[in-house]
Amino acid sequence: DVSIAEVFICLSNGKRNIRLLHVIPPHGTLKVPLIITLHRLHPVSKQFAEEVLRSHNEYRRSHQAPPLKLSSKLSREAARYAESLASTRILKHSVESSRGSCGENLAWASYDQPGKDVADRWYDEVKQYSFNNPGFSSGTGHFTAMVWKSTTKLGVGKATASDGSSFVVARYFPAGNVTNKGHFDSNVLPAKTTTATP
């Protein structure tokens, strides 16, 4: 059984990454605890979407990537998918993401997570990324999707369950995490170091 307290689970491009957990769920798709029996769905607030966007762009600036623009089309699609996740309580990537028509980061938490918290958790994977040996890894896929240089648009969706837990979907276009040779080298750049001026 998975404890409902302070649980944060996220997926990136089909790979599961588990944070702040005391137990590891079985392989395959992840069934969110059955304690969530009912859910209410709200369109993502403009404030939440802008918070996620702002956090993305701050990190992107640091990694020499141009800012993303919020896409109403991607946000509508992300919201629909967040609602689907909330209704099935199964955290898995969408068909659109699997076939590469968009990039996708997913998050589930047992509480109503602020946009900045979601983005910060995804970005925290930078600690595991090797810029000397660039490429995709299940432990860094959220981070690389966020800062992927050639991505230009972001969509954000969120659905909240009746117990206060939340499902967040971020959609990216064009999709990042392209594994062809050279793509990670040119799209996931090291953070610029800032030198203090006297």
- pLDDT tens per residue, range 80-89: 999 999 888 7
- pLDDT tens per residue, range 34-58: 333 333 334 558 899 999 999 999 9
- pLDDT tens per residue, range 68-102: 999 999 999 999 999 999 888 788 999 999 888 99
- pLDDT tens per residue, range 103-142: 999 999 988 889 999 999 999 999 999 999 999 998 999 9
| CA atoms of 145 and 147, how far apart (whole Å) | 6
Q: 52 vs 10, 75, 105, 137, CA distance in Å?
A: 15, 12, 12, 23
**Cα 70 vs. chain centroid, distance in angstroms?**
15
pLDDT at residue 194, rounded to an integer: 58
pLDDT at residue 44, rounded to an integer: 59
* One-letter amino acid of 150: S
H-run or E-run covering 103: strand 103-109
Backbone angles phi, psi at 116, to 5 degrees: -65, -40
Q: What is the pTM of this model?
A: 0.77
Contact of 153 with 172, CB cutoff 8 Å: yes
Question: Is residue 193 packed enough to be buried (19+ CB in 10 Å), middle (13-18) or exposed (0-12)?
Answer: exposed
